[in-house]
Amino acid sequence: MKRLSRLRFAVFPDNGLFRVYGLGARPGRGEVPELSGGSLLACGYDHLELSTLQGKVDVTVVLEEWDGDPDAGPPPADEGPWEETAAATVFLRGYVTVGTDASGRAMGTRLAGGTGRYRVEVGARHRHAVAERYDRLLQRYRDLHSEEFRVAEQDLRGLEEFLIRLWPMAAADGDPPHGGGVSYPTAVSG
């Protein structure tokens, strides 16, 4: 399969969460089960919520769109393996955004696959290591506004990484290729 696009950017997690959503989605309305016990991902119909194990420093996100199920080849030698993985299905309306409500920063892209159901695979690494290092910073520096704390915190930015791969799902026999099998009335009486 062929990779159609790849974006790499920083996201500031809102209370340890960031979201993957499309046009018209309303994340944060209680439709997604709460993430508990360090879970990586929770899924609603048209959005995902991803969890960091800390909520105070930027994470690095790589968003890839593929034209079909990507081969799960080995990561580049300098990056190492993904420590955690999860997968879900989500309905997207031709556009995807990754971000949080808190910072107002979000990155988005138009999807070459258009509107329909997408398979999403998520890989994460360094979640536990960054959370442990942040806890040590909190124990070491009592003044969170001090220059020393800010410099030490800066070293953690971007170390926690997420890879989000998505591709259009193949339609089942009898289903339309897009729209997730939704049918619309051709006449309305009233």
Q: For the chain, what is the mean pLDDT? A: 80
Distance CA 146, CA 150 (A): 6
- The predicted structure's pLDDT at residue 16: 84
| pLDDT bucket at 118, cuts 50 / 70 / 90 | very high
- The predicted structure's pLDDT at residue 66: 93
Question: Does the pLDDT of residue 146 top 60, yes or no?
Answer: yes
- Say what the pTM is: 0.81
- Set out the domains of the chain in order of their start, with CATH numbers: 3-72+93-168 (2.60.34.30)
Query: Measured at the alpha carbon of residue 136, what is the angle toward residues 131 and 139, in degrees to the nearest 5?
Result: 130
- The predicted structure's pLDDT at residue 95: 93
- The predicted structure's pLDDT at residue 159: 92
Place of tokens 């955004």: 97
Measured in degrees and rounded to the nearest 5, phi and psi for residue 134 equal -65, -40
Higher confidence at residue 17 or residue 182?
Answer: 17
Identify the bridge partners of residue 62 per DSSP, sorted by sequence position: 8, 163
| 84-99, strands of its sheet edge to edge | 3-11, 59-66, 161-168, 106-125, 84-99, 17-22, 47-51, 41-43
What digits encode the pLDDT tens for the residues 40-88? 888 888 889 898 888 788 999 999 999 998 876 545 545 678 899 999 9
| pLDDT bucket at 177, cuts 50 / 70 / 90 | very low
**What average pLDDT does the segment 155-161 reach?**
92
Distance CA 145, CA 127 (A): 24
Q: What is the DSSP letter of 133?
A: H
Helix or strand or coil: residue 139? helix
